[in-house]
């Protein structure tokens, strides 16, 4: 077994459509811990597979910024994004750009995600794909390495999008996991004073391995694992969503972890 501290990293989405695909693949492969299968050209195939299987939750991690010309697009169609909880629309008369016809036009600045486009049959709108401007509300993706108990708190922010390491499918007795279970030290833990805590984690690990060796599947053996188990959690949300999370989770009454 291994005991680690919690951590986080901000995952910047790369440019263009392939950057959207790569962001989705990274989120999706976190669930099965199959990041080793990522190659330079694997992202598009992965996303196509997610679309075909109807696994839309992973598509939400691919942020799409659109600049839709007001002169060439029906205003009613923009309501697809206005009426969607995972989209933000800015009627941006201040943002003037040159469209594909060479005309200077204002735009609807839309921030959304690939799932919205797929499920609303709007993939043709990708012709208006752009890099985020000051008129687009930004979305950010963060990877948390934390305990399962902490992840339970974070996923309650249901307006955000999540992808989480799956104890159903990850078999921690395998070599790819170094034949061990990783746990996260809680805020109150002190190495010199909490041997009983460490012993309980060690027993849980041994019980898990015993159940796996007896023929149980990971989704069955995980029943003996404690909330201190390490998990990897990918979270994507608008700036306003993150502010809401900070307001609640940084409050003095929140879980210290």
- Using the Cα atoms of residue 146, residue 148, residue 154 and residue 155 in order, give the sign of their dihedral: positive
- The per-type count for the chain, helices as H runs and strands as E runs, is 9, 9
Structure tokens at 72: 């060439």
pLDDT of residue 97: 81
Which DSSP helix (H) or strand (E) runs through 234?
strand 230-238
Q: Tokens 């972890």 correspond to what residue?
A: 257
Question: Tens digits of per-residue pLDDT, 18-74?
Answer: 999 999 999 999 999 999 999 999 999 999 999 999 999 999 999 999 999 887 666
Q: Count the residues in the chain.
A: 257
Q: Tokens 């969607």 correspond to what residue?
A: 84
Which DSSP helix (H) or strand (E) runs through 99?
none
Question: Tens digits of per-residue pLDDT, 105-130?
Answer: 888 999 999 999 999 999 999 999 99
Check whether 252 has a pLDDT greater than 90.
yes
Percent of the chain whose predicted confidence (pLDDT) is above 90: 86
Question: Tens digits of per-residue pLDDT, 125-171?
Answer: 999 999 999 999 999 999 999 999 999 999 999 899 999 999 999 99
Residue 249 annotated to the active site: yes
- 20 SS3 class: helix
């Amino acid at each position: 077994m291994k005991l680690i501290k919690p951590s986080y990293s901000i995952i910047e989405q790369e440019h263009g459509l392939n950057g959207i695909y790569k962001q989705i693949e990274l989120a999706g492969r976190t669930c099965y811990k199959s990041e080793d299968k990522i190659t330079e050209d694997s992202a598009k195939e992965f996303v196509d597979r997610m679309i075909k299987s109807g696994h839309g939750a992973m598509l939400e991690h691919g942020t799409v910024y659109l600049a839709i010309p007001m002169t060439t697009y029906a205003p009613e169609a923009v309501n697809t994004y206005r009426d969607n909880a995972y989209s933000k629309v800015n009627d941006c008369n201040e943002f003037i750009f040159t469209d594909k016809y060479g005309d200077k036009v204002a735009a609807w600045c839309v921030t959304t995600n690939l799932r919205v486009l797929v499920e609303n049959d709007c993939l043709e709108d990708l012709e208006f794909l752009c890099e985020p401007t000051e008129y687009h509300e930004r979305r950010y993706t963060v990877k948390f390495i934390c305990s399962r108990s902490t992840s339970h708190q974070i996923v309650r922010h249901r307006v955000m999008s999540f992808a989480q390491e799956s104890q159903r499918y990850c078999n921690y007795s395998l070599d790819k996991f170094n034949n061990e279970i990783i746990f996260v030290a809680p805020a109150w833990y002190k190495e010199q004073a909490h041997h009983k805590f460490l012993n309980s984690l060690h027993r849980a690990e041994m019980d898990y391995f015993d159940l796996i060796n007896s023929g149980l599947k990971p989704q069955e053996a995980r029943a003996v694992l404690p909330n201190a188990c390490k998990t990897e959690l990918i979270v994507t949300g608008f700036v306003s969503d993150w502010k809401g999370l900070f307001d609640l989770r940084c409050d003095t009454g929140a879980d210290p972890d």
